[in-house]
Amino acid sequence: MNKIIKLNVGPQHPSTHGVLRLITELDGEKILSVEPVVGYLHRGMEKLAENRSYLQYLPMVDRVDYLGSFFTSYAYCNAVEKLLFVEVPKRAEYIRMLCMELNRIASHLLWLGTFMLDLGASSPLFYCFRDREVILSLFEELTGQRMMYNYFVFGGVRHDVSDDWLCKVSSFIANLPKSISDYEKIITENPIFLDRTLNKGILKPQTALQFSVTGPNLRASGVEVDYRKVMPYSVYGDVDFVISESNRCDSYARYLVRIQEMKTSLDIVKQAVLYLKNNSDNYLTKINSLNLKIPEGEYTSYVESSRGLLNCYIKSDGSPKPYRVKWRTGSYYSVQVLPELVKGLNYNDLIAVFGSLDVIMPEVDR
Amino acid sequence: MNYLYFLYIQFLLNHNIPKIFGDITFPFIPFCIVAAMIIFVVLVLVLLERKVLALFTQRKGPNRVGPWGMFQTIADAIKLLCKQNIDILGSDKFLFNIAPIVVFVPVMMLWGIIPYSSEFVFMNFSVSVLLYISIAALPVIGIILSGYASNSKYSLIGAMRSGAQIISYELPIMFVLLSIVALSSSMNLKDIVYSQLGEGAILCWHVFPCIVGFIIIFICMLAELNRCPFDLPEAESELVAGYNTEYSGMRFALFFLAEYALMFIMAAFLATLFWGGYLPITGKYISEIFFSDNQFLPVFIYFEQFFWLMIKTFILVFLFMLVRATLPRLGTQSLMKLSWYLLLPLSMINFIVIIIFKYFIEGGVL
């Protein structure tokens, strides 16, 4: 008698974070193998770029990762600026860094909420959304949008930040540590949470490197690689912060690292706000974005996004449209490594481990 | 019940209807009362649960239909009644249709056992505790049937989990019930309530000598109810909706109804066993103070007893909801470990301690 159950988790499933399909083989509740099938959310982001001018493609890059729009936006703008040899004013870079770090906090907050939801706790989701809401309101005030900001432009940012807005950011970052410590109070020491995450989904540093896993997932495996630190882009070289890292390698480590990262981001935001309040400068290098003349060449920009290394490769053949745009996103590699993590675990750890990897599907499929 | 019977027969005789008619129709009255109570209580409970969860997560909860969202659950119930019953391809039609009934009927029977007030017991058996255990074990048959008949792997896994869970959590319950039976020297619920009557009012409740037992049985009841943190059979992050995934319309409504009706009746059962049932918290009936010379004093007391039981039950229900708002879901293995390694030995020790307590305090075993 065949005792193995073949279970198709997804693509329509309440908690695969979008439309991921996991072909799972179960022996009882023990997972024998998992095969992720991606591509259900493919929108042809890279191909679409080839039929649009550089400026026309700009609003679309926000959709690559809808929870970290500023990261993708920065990666694209940075690549174009590098191809154009345009110098971006320091103030603009600080504004960009501020936005990216706030975005990282928002992204991690959403991850925390959904991760806890995957573990079966419904309340933290609402608490996290409450804090994320404040960030989204700040972004809305700054850019006019709550999610797809289209705020970074070639050569800087669309418009300057106001002092009033900076004050609001300061008051937000003054309040957030208390919220984070509240989350830690109900989550970090919770015996059920520990039971579900400790020694579950162990990602060995070697495996992580083999599968090119980056970002918090890699740092939770004890590999101290943060592109903000090792190859500082933007103005990350000017600010002071520590890389959060843990060598536990399990789901719990990934939780700890992300919590720590939120605090790190707060530090960076604090320094950025301080700089922006004290220094006034031009926020945009004026270039003719409508008729961009990009010389032949290619460039790969890199950003440490909330889900790992984000690359934007642009090849220009001198025409108004990019010859090729390629995105490298962190989630794609996190999905890839999932079968290694859950082999031999219980079925109810599948989603728990998957949740700890912080995967969002639009970023995987582009 | 005799009092109600007496009133009913009197009423019929006054209208010149023969007594035999009353004897035949009388059993239907408790049935109708229970049915009406179940519907009403479940409607209130669902609204209450949504409101309480909203309170914990800083939301408003239902607030559109009627004042304070009061008619929301009624609207939901009407919607469920009007929905199409989807027949699943490849399902066992007979078992599929009968499963919700198999779940619901035992729950309804449980409602007849609880003494709502000293004269308001529908089934006053001398072994009601035993009857309770026997009947409370029945719904799991319906759950396993529904999982087997649905022809869905999610349902099957959910049903199997539920079966394993309920069987392993029934044993500690029985040991705790045994210690209560030992404390009160009776298996009749009314006698158990009266054994908690005494000079000390609250201090005479069984919860004080048997506090460990109370905590054990509270945890086990959560597991029996498939409620958070033991909601593995319907874990939406893994199993979509567990054993009732394929059900829709009225059949789903029956599962839903049974779940909430069972939650309420288990809370009432706990209140009866541990918190003095329908005995007043104040030690003395309030109606005795206000209506001491009224000829309907017994009637007032019956209603007051019902009121006290409801207060205690709703406090317990509130505790169930509080747990749901706080904790994440347990893992499958630790769920089993908790029962077999911790709760079962603890309940046995508790039983022995209670017997020794009984022997020394009251000078005689049982």
CA B185 to chain CA centroid, Å, is 23
Nearest chain B residue to A128, by CA:
B57
Q: Which two tokens stand for residue A17?
A: 């974070």
> CA of B41, closest CA in chain A: separation in Å?
24
Contact A107, A215 (CB under 8 A): no
The region that residue A116 occupies, defined by phi over 0 for left and psi between -120 and 50 for alpha, beta otherwise, is alpha
Strand, coil or helix: B272: helix
Nearest chain B residue to A193, by CA:
B328
> CA of A126, closest CA in chain B: separation in Å?
6
Query: Which residues lie closer than 8 Å to A213 by C-beta, 6 or more apart?
Result: A203, A207, A221, A308, A330, A333, A334, A337
Residue A195 is nearest to which of B154, B235, B334, comparing CB atoms? B334
Outline where DSSP puts E strands in chain B: none
- The rounded percent of chain A whose pLDDT value lies above 70 is 99
In a mutational test of the B interface, the residue from A131, A348, A351, A354 whose CB has the highest number of chain B CBs within 10 Å is A348
pLDDT at B237: 64
CB of A191 within 8 Å of any CB in chain B? no
Query: Which residues lie closer than 8 Å to B6 by C-beta, 6 or more apart?
Result: none
- The rounded percent of chain A whose pLDDT value lies above 90 is 4
The whole-chain average pLDDT of chain A stands at 86
Contact B229 A120 (CB under 8 A): yes
- The domain locations on chain B are 1-82, 96-362
> CA of B133, closest CA in chain A: separation in Å?
29
Q: What is the DSSP letter of B243?
A: G
Cβ neighbours, 10 Å, residue A284: 17
Residue A348 is nearest to which of B57, B229, B238, comparing CB atoms? B238
CB of A196 within 8 Å of any CB in chain B? yes
- Torsion from C-alpha of B250, B253, B258, B260, nearest 10 degrees: -160
Separation CA B235–CA A342 (nearest Å): 18
What is the pLDDT averaged over residues A40-65?
Answer: 87
Question: Of A98, A106, A105, whose CA–CA distance to A161 is shortest?
Answer: A98
CB of A129 within 8 Å of any CB in chain B? no
Q: What is the CA radius of gyration of chain A?
A: 21
pLDDT at B366: 46
Q: Chain B residues within 8 A (CB-CB) of chain A?
A: 53, 56-59, 153-154, 157, 161, 228-229, 231-232, 235-238, 240, 324-334
Residue A349 is nearest to which of B228, B229, B331, comparing CB atoms? B331
CA atoms within 13 A on the CB side of A214: 20
Residue A286 pLDDT grade (very low, low, confident, very high; cuts 50, 70, 90): confident
What is the pLDDT averaged over residues A76-88?
Answer: 88
Domains of chain A: 4-365 (1.10.645.10)
> CA of A89, closest CA in chain B: separation in Å?
42
Instruction: For residue B57, list chain A residues with Cβ-Cβ distance below 8 A.
Output: 122-123, 125-127
- Note down pLDDT in tens along chain B; length 366 residues: 667 777 778 888 888 777 787 778 777 877 888 888 888 888 888 888 888 888 888 888 888 888 888 888 888 888 888 888 877 777 778 888 888 888 888 888 888 888 888 777 777 788 888 888 888 888 888 888 888 888 888 888 888 888 888 888 888 998 898 888 888 888 888 888 888 887 777 777 888 888 888 999 999 888 888 887 888 777 666 677 777 777 888 888 888 888 888 889 889 988 888 888 888 887 777 777 777 777 777 778 888 888 888 888 999 999 988 888 888 888 778 888 888 898 899 999 999 988 888 888 776 544
Contact B237 A118 (CB under 8 A): yes
